[in-house]
Amino acid sequence: MTPYSLENYEKYKTVKIRPVPLPNKNQDPSHGQFQYVQLSWRELEPARGEFRIEGIEEALRAALNPILVLMPDLPVWVKNDADDCFAALIRKVGSYIGSDRRLTAVLISTLSDSKEEWNAYIEAFDSQTMLAELQNDRLIQYVKEHSCGFGLLVRCSEANWIECCEAFAVQKLQHVWKSHPVVLHVTDLACGPNIRREALRWHASLSNVNAGLGYDLALRRLTYPETVSSHGSLPLRFWFANTGSSRIYRDFQICVQLRQGEVSYELPLHAATHTWLTGDHVHNEMVPLPDMSPGSYTLSIALYFEDRSYVALNIQNRQQNGYYETGSIQVEITHEDPLTNIWDTYYPEGYYPLEDPVVPEQE
């Protein structure tokens, strides 16, 4: 590619950052594995109406990506209407947990697959992710008919992986992963080659064993101007790539930090990260800058979840409190900002604007 190619055309001097991936990156279990939090009905409600659910918070805190399972073992006091009694417990636990973000998902486990129990989960855990067993076709059909979002729990082994593939196809579940997680429960002692291959095709995000699942997000390129104006505009062009097996299901936001010594400015961006699946993601944004003292600043980026924990990127750049340093930028005091309308006549990816083609004259 020559220096005069369109790829290298810029109307202002830019800095192009191409971070290097981490060498021999180890799988981070914080987003690739899960643990069950199994709660016994017999222990949660030893007597009718007497609930002991205070220990749920500690159980969620101790587990890695906890998936809640309410075990429908009958207490001794249950004599009649067991389905209704278990549904009442589901509603009680759901109201107690609420929208607690520590809970990754809740498995729809029932006493007799009754609609009363299903409705209890749908109503009580409406702010949580619910998982349906892949082989429970009646439940899947029911939640589809009621337009309820749901993820999948796939119990898979080297002996039944073909049946799991057929269940995905018959029930048309290939696209569930785009909005809700597919969770893999390996019933063998280890994840075999057929399970691993199909888990990638199903875009599974979590597993009970280390199967190399989850997102793997990296910053491939960042382009920004060498110099900007105080109280002016900062045009940013990002290229991210998620080479993992699944998307990121929690909401997160891109933030940019400009730091000079002890002074720093945090600039939240407006990227539609909720639409990011796997593969490449490009985001261009013209960021307004506050009044800043002139000089050189360190430009860093972070991807923060709502609780201020951060997305770990697969890059070698120095990281502090979630912010990855990318480079330096010069801030100047100017009478007018030359970058405010730079993208009106100039494509942000570095290409000349093209006119619409003219229809050839018919002979």
DSSP class per residue in 171-208: TT-TTGGGTS-EEEEE-SSS--HHHHHHHHHTT--EES
Same domain, residue pair 197 and 87: yes
In the numeric block, the tokens 């589809």 are attached to 144
Same domain, residue pair 221 and 133: no
Partners of 3 in the β-ladder: none
Q: Is residue 64 part of a domain?
A: yes
- Tally the domains of the chain: 2
Residue 276 to residues 177, 242, 247, 345, Cα–Cα distance (Å):
12, 9, 7, 28
Cα separation of the two ends of the chain: 39
The pLDDT score that the predictor gives to residue 288 is: 97
Q: Are 197 and 164 in contact (CB under 8 A)?
A: no
> Residue 259's domain spans which residues?
6-25+216-344
Q: Is residue 363 part of a domain?
A: no
**Domain of 156: which CATH number?**
3.20.20.80
Q: Is residue 266 part of a domain?
A: yes
Distance in angstroms (rounded) separating the CA atoms of residues 247 and 263: 35
Q: Is residue 74 part of a domain?
A: yes
Print burial letters for 228-246: b (CB count within 10 Å at least 16), e (below 16). Answer: bbbebbbbbbbbbbbebbb
Same domain, residue pair 108 and 162: yes
Same domain, residue pair 107 and 60: yes
Order of strands, sheet of 182-186, starting from the edge strand that comes earlier in the sequence: 35-40, 66-71, 105-107, 130-133, 151-156, 182-186, 206-207
Choose the final residue of a domain: 142, 174, 207: 207
Structure tokens at 140: 């899947």
Q: Is residue 110 part of a domain?
A: yes
Same domain, residue pair 289 and 242: yes
Same domain, residue pair 329 and 247: yes
Q: Is residue 221 part of a domain?
A: yes
Same domain, residue pair 182 and 230: no
Q: Is residue 199 part of a domain?
A: yes
Closest CA to 66 of 158, 114, 151, 129: 129
The pLDDT score that the predictor gives to residue 128 is: 96
Choose the final residue of a domain: 172, 187, 207: 207
Distance in angstroms (rounded) separating the CA atoms of residues 134 and 351: 47
* Cβ within 8 Å of residue 26, ≥6 positions away: none
Q: Is residue 259 part of a domain?
A: yes
* Beta-sheet pairing, 66-71 with 35-40: parallel
Same domain, residue pair 151 and 71: yes
Same domain, residue pair 177 and 74: yes
Distance in angstroms (rounded) separating the CA atoms of residues 66 and 63: 5
Same domain, residue pair 172 and 268: no
Same domain, residue pair 64 and 142: yes
Per-residue model confidence as pLDDT tens for the chain (363 residues): 555 555 556 678 899 999 999 987 655 656 789 999 999 999 999 999 999 999 999 999 999 999 999 999 999 999 999 999 999 999 999 999 998 889 999 999 999 999 999 999 999 999 999 999 999 999 999 999 999 999 999 999 999 999 999 999 999 999 999 999 999 999 999 999 999 999 999 999 999 999 999 999 999 999 999 999 999 999 999 999 999 999 999 999 999 999 999 999 999 999 999 999 999 999 999 999 999 999 999 999 999 999 999 999 999 999 999 999 999 999 999 989 999 888 887 666 654 444 455 555 654
**Domain of 281: which CATH number?**
2.60.40.770
Same domain, residue pair 19 and 39: no
Distance in angstroms (rounded) separating the CA atoms of residues 104 and 111: 23
The pLDDT score that the predictor gives to residue 99 is: 87
Choose the final residue of a domain: 207, 225, 245: 207
